[in-house]
């Protein structure tokens, strides 16, 4: 329910605050007073496209905010929760800023949202009917929903939609499973070859590094032996060898130290050098004797290393990675081998869900066709009472067809549902979207909403031009319908007819005034004598005439008595 609307610098309004109440809220005023300003501003804060031309002359921006009460609206509360938002005591503040440069901001509570989000949320709360964008009656999808609501089939329709989406998801998975049989078989062969190749290699952890080191030594064996010979000659005790020189040096230093003790340290150091060099030479000899070189061993090493390097190039940079690839290949082969069993499982699931979908859709279709006749009659009766006695209304339920032209089942079942109307006798029924008159559209919606009043979930209906082309008894009937409907949902209605205005629970007058050569729209709720004067003006254009005032008083009294009788 809309509780409050605040408008700043929009069209003729510099600063307006309007409070709305439950029931029937009537907005009246002379032509050009600015009633359309209120509807335009409301449309802006509900998510309609913004037009910078609506910004008041001399202002840089316009701002519209609204306070809405969502208590009792489970869908709106769920939407907020899904978007990490929450109401405060059931109230939500909507705010829209539009700047001259085309930029601005859109907020739900204090969180910035997109215009699409705003329109999505407010569509759960409002329907605007008239020459504006929020005309849900023109959408055939809404016709189906109206029929399902009337027939008590909403839950069944939602169940069908969920089952159909599940079916589509499972079919997609199955299609991916069988997408390219040849490619899958090729993949299986490659995986099997990899497993065979890696298993036959019998890899050992660290083997590649060990073989690489061994190959490096074997491939340079000749150079190693030449170096051994050269080092032996350099270090041995043969003439010119290091040990031979060190032995002579030890003997000489011992003699020197016997003469002068200062040489004892040097003698000890050269003796240590002798034994260190002798130990190094022994180690070289052992290495040389243990080194096993043969052309056969080098060839075997090269062959094994070549085999492992091929595996490393194809399957991983280390033995561990190659073995990991082996395990993944085994799993993939197992998955492919079990594929036929999986295909059978998917086929069974698809058949089961399809059966459920078709059964639900068939029952839904039967229910829709039966309810269509009843809904059609109920709406046509309401239209006659609303000044369209010659109107012919139809609820058309037809088979949905696929691309091949044959009947098919979609997420909403076997049916397409569309409302048709012939406003005038002798004309064939046409789709509602082809009706030009905003007044006719509003009255059709009023008839539908009256029929569906107790089951509809929208909190606020806004009617603009509801009284277009009507008067007399029809206007009285429209006023009564609006009042009765407002017992179930809040209604905002712009009207020029006194017989509708007198039904108001909250009568709001819109006027236009001039100050300092600027025109301003003003708005306020009226009661008592002010309301009687406004009704008199609506009756005859004279708010001070004795006859008009008396007539206004009679209408208000009669409407009040009728309303009391219905409460």
> In terms of residue numbers, what domain contains 279?
183-337
Evaluate whether residue 390 is within a structural domain. Answer: no
Indicate if 193 and 333 belong to the same structural domain. yes
Distance of CA 471 to the CA centre of its chain: 47
Statement to judge: residues 301 and 219 lie in one domain: yes
- CA 257 to centroid of chain Cα atoms: 97
Whether the pLDDT of residue 563 is over 80: the answer is: no
Looking at the structure, tell me whether residues 188 and 321 fall in a common domain: yes
Instruction: Give the C-alpha separation, 77 to 472, whole Å.
Output: 42
- Give Cα 299 to chain centroid, integer Å: 65
pLDDT band at 261; cut points 50, 70, 90: confident
Q: Give 550's pLDDT tier (boundaries 50, 70, 90).
A: very high
Query: Do 191 and 333 have their domain in common?
Result: yes
Query: How many structural domains compose the chain?
Result: 2
Note the pLDDT of residue 16.
87
Residue 514 CA to chain centroid, in angstroms? 48
For 2, 517, 518, the CA distances from 13, given in Å and listed in that order, are 19, 14, 11
Is 540's pLDDT higher than 70? yes
Tell me the per-residue pLDDT of 243-260, one tens digit each, with 9 for 90 and over: 777 888 888 888 888 888
| Together in a domain, 89 and 197 | no
Write the CA distances from 196 to 47, 205, 208, 333, integer angstroms: 65, 18, 19, 12
Lowest mean pLDDT among 79-88, 265-274, 485-494: 265-274
Quick one: what percent of the chain has pLDDT higher than 90? 33
What distance in Å separates the CA atoms of residue 41 and residue 288, rounded to the nearest whole number? 100
In this structure, what CATH number is given to the domain that contains residue 473? 3.40.50.300
Does a structural domain hold residue 151? no
Whether residue 218 lies inside any domain: the answer is: yes
d(CA 68, CA 85): 14
What mean pLDDT is predicted for residues 283-289?
Answer: 73
Q: What percentage of the chain carries pLDDT values higher than 70? A: 89
Residue 548 lies in a domain: no
pLDDT of residue 177: 77
Q: Is 94 helix (H, G, I), strand (E, B) or coil?
A: strand
323, 136 contact by CB (below 8 A): no
151 or 442, which is more confident? 151
Q: What is the pLDDT of residue 526?
A: 93
* Host H or E run for residue 61: strand 61-69
Among 269-283, 370-384, 447-461, whose mean pLDDT is lowest? 447-461
Please indicate, yes or no, whether residues 189 and 276 belong to a single structural domain of this protein.
yes
- Asked if the structure places residue 289 within a domain, the reply is yes
Residues 225 and 104 occupy one common structural domain: no
Q: 557: which 2 tokens?
A: 């009294």
The predicted-structure confidence for 114-133, as pLDDT tens digits, reads as follows 999 999 999 889 988 765 43
In a domain, 478, yes or no: yes
Q: Determine how many CB atoms are found less than 10 A away from the CB of residue 28.
A: 26
- C-alpha 487/C-alpha 24 separation (Å) is 8
Q: If pLDDT is split at 50, 70 and 90, which confidence band does 409 have?
A: very high
Does residue 35 sit in the same domain as residue 115? yes
- Distance between CA atoms of residues 412 and 365, nearest Å: 10
């Amino acid at each position: 329910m809309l509780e409050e609307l605040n408008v700043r610098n929009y069209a003729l309004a510099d600063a307006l605050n309007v409070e709305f109440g439950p029931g029937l809220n009537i907005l009246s005023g002379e032509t050009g007073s600015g009633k359309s300003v209120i509807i335009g501003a409301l449309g802006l804060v509900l998510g309609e496209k913004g037009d910078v031309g609506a910004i008041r002359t001399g202002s840089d921006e316009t701002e519209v905010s609204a306070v809405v009460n969502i208590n009792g609206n489970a869908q709106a509360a769920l939407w907020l929760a899904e978007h990490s938002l929450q109401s405060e005591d059931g109230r939500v503040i909507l705010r829209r800023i539009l700047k001259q440069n085309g930029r601005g901001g859109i907020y739900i509570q204090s969180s910035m949202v997109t215009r699409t989000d705003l329109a999505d949320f407010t569509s759960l709360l409002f329907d605007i009917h008239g020459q504006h964008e929020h005309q849900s009656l023109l959408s055939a999808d809404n016709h189906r929903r109206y029929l399902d609501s009337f027939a008590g089939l909403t839950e069944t329709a939602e169940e069908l939609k969920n089952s159909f989406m599940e079916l589509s998801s499972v079919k997609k998975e199955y299609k991916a499973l069988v997408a390219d049989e040849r490619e899958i078989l090729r993949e299986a062969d490659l995986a099997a070859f990899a497993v065979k190749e890696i298993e036959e290699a019998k890899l050992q952890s660290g083997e590649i590094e060990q073989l690489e080191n061994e190959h490096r030594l074997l491939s340079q064996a000749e150079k190693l032996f030449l170096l051994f010979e050269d080092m032996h000659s350099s270090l041995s005790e043969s003439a010119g060898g290091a040990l031979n020189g060190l032995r002579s040096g030890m003997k000489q230093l011992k003699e020197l130290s016997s003469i002068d003790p200062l040489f004892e340290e040097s003698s000890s150091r050269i003796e240590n050098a002798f034994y260190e060099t002798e130990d190094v030479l022994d180690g070289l000899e052992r290495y040389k004797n243990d080194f096993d070189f043969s052309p056969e061993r080098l060839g075997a090493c090269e062959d094994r290393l070549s085999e492992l390097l091929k595996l490393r190039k194809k399957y991983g940079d280390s033995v561990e990675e190659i073995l990991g690839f082996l395990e993944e290949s085994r799993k993939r082969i197992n998955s492919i081998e079990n594929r036929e069993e999986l295909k059978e499982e998917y086929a069974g699931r698809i058949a089961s869900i399809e059966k459920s979908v078709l059964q639900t859709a068939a029952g839904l279709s039967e229910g829709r066709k039966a309810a269509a006749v009843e809904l059609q009659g109920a709406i046509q009766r309401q239209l006659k009472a609303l000044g369209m006695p010659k109107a012919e209304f139809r609820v058309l339920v037809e088979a949905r067809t696929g691309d091949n032209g044959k009947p098919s089942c979609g997420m909403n079942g076997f049916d397409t549902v569309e409302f048709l109307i012939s406003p005038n006798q002798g004309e064939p029924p046409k789709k509602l979207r082809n009706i030009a008159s905003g007044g006719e559209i509003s009255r059709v919606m009023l008839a539908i909403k009256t029929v569906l009043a107790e089951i509809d979930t929208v909190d606020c209906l806004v009617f603009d031009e509801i009284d277009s082309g009507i008067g007399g008894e029809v206007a009285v009937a429209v006023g009564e319908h609006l009042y009765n409907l407002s017992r179930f949902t809040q209604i905002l209605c712009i009207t020029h007819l006194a017989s509708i205005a007198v039904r108001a629970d909250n009568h709001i007058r819109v006027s236009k005034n001039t100050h300092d050569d600027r025109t301003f729209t003003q708005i306020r709720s009226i009661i008592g004598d002010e309301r009687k004067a406004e009704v008199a003006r609506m009756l005859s254009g004279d708010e001070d005439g004795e006859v008009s005032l008396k007539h206004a008083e009679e209408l208000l009294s009669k409407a009040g008595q009728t309303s009391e009788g219905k409460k």
